[in-house]
Amino acid sequence: SAVISQKPSRDICQRGTSLTIQCQVDSQVTMMFWYRQQPGQSLTLIATANQGSEATYESGFVIDKFPISRPNLTFSTLTVSNMSPEDSSIYLCSVHLMSDTQYFGPGTRLTVL
């Protein structure tokens, strides 16, 4: 298994500002992912965070809005840029292990006013 932490756990932000969410894993992992969970909805994959190269974004998500960094095999950040109330969601990072299972962080609950 893997222990995953996220910072911050929650935040309340003003419209038009940006927030950077950090994800830290206790072991080196090849694949890390970022998901969004809007209120009352299921999880939607935003992107795969690639170490040493640009993230791979899913349809409907763009780098300008959700820039992602992956400086090493244990850490990644997701920035939510120029926020609007529609960005209010839980943002989760996850890691894929060699056991072919995926583990999720506790999530960051974001409210945009």
Partner 1 sequence: DAKTTQPTSMDCAEGRAANLPCNHSTISGNEYVYWYRQIHSQGPQYIIHGLKNNETNEMASLIITEDRKSSTLILPHATLRDTAVYYCIVRPGSSNTGKLIFGQGTTLQVKP
Report residue 34: phi and psi, to 5°.
-120, 130
Instruction: Kindly indicate which of the ranges 11-19, 62-70, 81-89, 95-103 contains the residues binding partner 1, using the contact rule CB under 8 A.
Output: 95-103
Q: Which is nearer to partner 1, 7 or 15 (CB)?
A: 7
Residues 36-75 vs partner 1: string with x where CB under 8 A? ------xxxx--x---------------------------
DSSP label at 58? P
Alpha carbons 34 and 85: distance in angstroms, whole number: 19
Site for partner 1 in 9-38 (CB under 8 A): 31, 33, 35
78 binds partner 1 (CB under 8 A): no
Judge whether 57 and 102 are in contact, CB under 8 Å.
Answer: no
Sheet with 75-80: strands ordered across: 4-7, 19-25, 75-80, 68-72
* Type of residue at 100: D
List residues near partner 1 by CB under 8 A: 4, 31, 33, 35, 42-45, 48, 90, 92, 94, 96, 100-107, 109
